[in-house]
Structure 1
Amino acid sequence: MSSLTMVEAKLPPGFRFHPRDDELVCDYLMKKWNGCESALLIEVDLNKCEPWDIPETACVGGKEWYFYNQRDRKYATGLRTNRATASGYWKATGKDRPVIRRGSLVGMRKTLVFYQGRAPKGKKTDWVMHEFRVEGPFGPPKLNPTSKVSFPHLL
């Protein structure tokens, strides 16, 4: 039995993990930065697995998966994020959406869609992911392109 299954077994009947965007940023992602682990969320390396291969342990009572992922850079000295996998890539769609708590910006939500194949001829799939990052006064310091510090993202 996985540790996540054991945690779910202790929850009261009818419990549903359905956090709001601001709860994901403030109550999970910011706490992760401060070293507080959550029994409900695991780390997944999205560059080493396909969406359909993400461990079932990332699933909390339903078809939605919540997990942490370290941002991978496309180039060692650049700012572009690497979102490629062995069989495809995650492509950003639309514009980033602000995550607000008590009138203040606390984070941003980016929507990504998985495409099989290589750009620009990849085939769009039904896999959708929402990537959250901390922004505003609580966010990471603005880094220069040569910095190799990586901050966790909640996906």
Structure 2
Amino acid sequence: MSQHDPHLRSVIYRFYPTEEELILFYLSNKLQNRRTHDLHRVIPTVNVYEHNPSHLPRLAGELCRRDTEQWFFFVPRQEREEQGRRPSRTTASGYWKATGSPTYVYSSENKVIGVKKTMVFYEGKSNKVKKTEWKMNEYRAIEEDVGGTNAVPIRKLRHELSLCRVYVVSRTRRSFDRRPSGIGSTEMVRPEASRGASTSRNIINPTNI
């Protein structure tokens, strides 16, 4: 098979990250300003709340732009959040609304590494609102604060940046629901073994996020 074969390219660049990889590799590296030369090719920084969901696929990273199932973005903290107010999730055609309660994300070692919030997009304004098939998972990282003299490290939630996965609800299982064994996240940015997950018992209550 030729290396220029379009089917081969689609196999190489399919993006199958686990939630553990999203937080411990991609979000962690971005928060620590590492691998900036290649992360954006997979996950760009975009304020998703400034765009209607249907416009987001074209803003995806160049290696994931052909994906028809899911798209990933780093989302910076809004200025209103820095002032202690709730973030605005309103777009020109509707708004994102949280569904259910935020939940913890665990590592393969069964340690809390982040918080996930799921949202649904509603189209329209005022009384003419329609629930759409667009959904989004928002991930925030939890890290240990090892400073001070406390015997037990304190877990802190990183607010300055989140990682969002945008997708369309489907009645059939998608590729990201049945991640094939042996396939890494991407040929260019392949997650390494996850280490350094928090071991603290000082748990953050995700319902307060």
TM class, shorter-length:
0.7 to 0.9
1:103 to 107, 110, 116: 110
Counterpart of 2:135?
A: 128
Q: Distance in 2 between matches of 1:120 and 1:132?
A: 30
> CA 1:119 to 1:43, structure 2 compared with 1: closer, same or farther past 3 Å?
farther
Greater Cα shift, 129-138 or 112-121: 112-121
Residues 1:86 and 2:92 are matched in the alignment? yes
Residue 73 of structure 1 deviates from its aligned partner by 5.3
Counterpart of 1:43?
A: 45
Counterpart of 2:25?
A: 27
Residue 136 of structure 1 deviates from its aligned partner by 4.6
Residue 75 of structure 1 deviates from its aligned partner by 6.6
RMSD: 2.9
Structure showing greater radius of gyration is 2
Q: Distance in 2 between matches of 1:79 and 1:142?
A: 17
Counterpart of 1:3?
A: none
- Alignment identity in percent? 33
- TM-score under structure 2 normalisation? 0.58
Residue 122 of structure 1 deviates from its aligned partner by 2.6
> CA 1:117 to 1:74, structure 2 compared with 1: closer, same or farther past 3 Å?
farther
Judge conservation of contact 1:41–1:67 (CA < 8 Å) in 2: yes
Counterpart of 1:116?
A: 123
Q: Distance in 2 between matches of 1:106 and 1:73?
A: 25
Counterpart of 1:147?
A: none
1:17 to 15, 20, 25: 15
**Residue identity matched to 2:88:** N
> CA 1:19 to 1:120, structure 2 compared with 1: closer, same or farther past 3 Å?
farther
Find the residue that maps to 2:103 and give its secondary structure.
strand
Q: Distance in 1 between matches of 2:127 and 2:98?
A: 13
Residue 119 of structure 1 deviates from its aligned partner by 5.8
Q: Distance in 2 between matches of 1:71 and 1:119?
A: 27
**Residue identity matched to 1:77:** Q
2:73 to 67, 75, 88: 67
Judge conservation of contact 1:72–1:81 (CA < 8 Å) in 2: yes
